[in-house]
Amino acid sequence: MCWFKNFIIFIIFILLGISKSQIKDGDYHECLRSCLNNALSKKLCRYEFYVGELPNTISIHNNSESKNESMNYNKIISSKMFLGINGKSPGPQIEICVGDTIEILLYNRLGSEELSFHWHGLRQKNFAYMDGVPMVTQCSILPFGGFRYKLKPENVGTYIYYAHIVSQQGDGIYGSLTVRGPQDDPSLERILLLSSRPPTPLSRYSHLHPPTPSELLLNGQNNGFIFEVQYGRKYLLRLINAHAYNCPVLLSISDHDFHVLATDGNPVEPTIGRHIVSFPGERFDVTIETNQPPGKYLVSIRGFLDCRDLRQEAFILYDNVKPESVVIKDEQLLKIDDYTFVRTRKRQRSLKLIICRSSIPHPRYYLNRKIQQRSRFVLLRNVRKSVLTRHCFVNVFA
């Protein structure tokens, strides 16, 4: 019997090791599931994040929800030490159901830098000390130290986490955070995480003026990212602008319209457009219908301001279409330049936010429902209190 007990203990340790490695690598997590509308389905979602320097070979992961497999892309960057989480950049995707509790053990393996994480867009009700602002809500995590973050998102939506020091975010410490509801289907969602990479790591840059970005990234890849889709379906695209630089991004898909459903975690009245202009920190939930003739369609990404003249190309690949097929391009999209971008600002439409419950009262209670024309913010008055919400834009070129 003694050998049998030892054998059982050995098997348990192996299973725990596999489970730990899966959670650490972000390839699988038990909290990635179909969400149910009952209290018994809520989970405690634990993650372990190890922040450190990446080797010269950066492992870029493309999680393909349609086939539930992971494809690795290796990009050789000689003599440049960028940063990552668990050995990759972007960091692991956090995907939970609304009502779940997130527990993240963050370990700082940077030899000489302090660290803290901010959870952009999350309302930290009852968890104010988890907001990640160093010397305000917490002490910085010292080198070779650790910290336990505990979060409980209340609203479904698309969010982002990143290092609170902007140079660390620009070097690769960021990732997506998705909170789903019972109506969401993970198999019909795609995450578009937009960012950029400087020619020299920002955290190693000692000059007064940091370098401008040298390339745009989509989910950590500099070009050729492929989203596989099936014909006749409706997909939810979770668009996240994770730029550490001042980089507005214009995104469009050839022959496909965007149906904007939410922005920054807030639902909006559905709006249709061909282009989306996204500024750093903004998130959009949009749907596209794969109702075009099967093929390989261009996803065009164009940067402005700090990312001026930078372009990125990705692709929507219908099922049963070979990756080496001819790319279907909308020539009108490729003609957009800085002048066209500025000229068409007058033709952009504002998104009308749907009033939601908010626990944050606005002191200017006397304000009415009129939009303040001099501000990019919309002040809305509810029955009992006012709430402050962002005012976002969608391009609708003819």
- For the segment 272-290, the average pLDDT, to the nearest whole number, is 92
Cis peptide leading into residue 248 (ω within 30°):
no
> How confident is the model over 307-320, as pLDDT tens digits?
988 999 999 999 98
More confident residue, 206 or 182: 182
Q: Which range (110-124, 265-279, 326-340, 358-372) has the least confidence?
A: 358-372
Neighbours of 129 (CB within 10 A): 13
Predicted local confidence at residue 196, as pLDDT: 93
- For the segment 268-273, the average pLDDT, to the nearest whole number, is 88
Predicted local confidence at residue 54, as pLDDT: 87
CATH code reported for the domain at 34-55+79-184: 2.60.40.420
Q: At residue 398, does pLDDT exceed 50? A: no
187-203+212-359+388-397: in CATH 2.60.40.420: yes
More confident residue, 143 or 62: 143
- 34-55+79-184 and 187-203+212-359+388-397 share one CATH topology? yes
Q: Which residues contact 9 (CB under 8 A, 6 or more apart)?
A: none
**Band of pLDDT at residue 352, cut at 50, 70 and 90:** low
Q: At residue 4, does pLDDT exceed 70? A: no
pTM of the model: 0.76
**Band of pLDDT at residue 334, cut at 50, 70 and 90:** low
CA distance 378 to 387: 9
- For the segment 293-297, the average pLDDT, to the nearest whole number, is 95
Predicted local confidence at residue 204, as pLDDT: 76
Q: At residue 191, does pLDDT exceed 60? A: yes
Angle at 285 between CA 298 and CA 245, to 5 degrees: 75
Q: At residue 231, does pLDDT exceed 80? A: yes
Give me the percent of the chain exceeding a pLDDT of 90. 49
Tokens of 135: 């010397």
Tokens of 139: 């002490």
**Band of pLDDT at residue 2, cut at 50, 70 and 90:** low
Predicted local confidence at residue 335, as pLDDT: 59
More confident residue, 368 or 200: 200
- By the 10 Å C-beta count (0-12 exposed, 13-18 middle, 19+ buried), 366 is classed as exposed
- Residue spans per domain, the chain: 34-55+79-184, 187-203+212-359+388-397
Predicted local confidence at residue 211, as pLDDT: 83
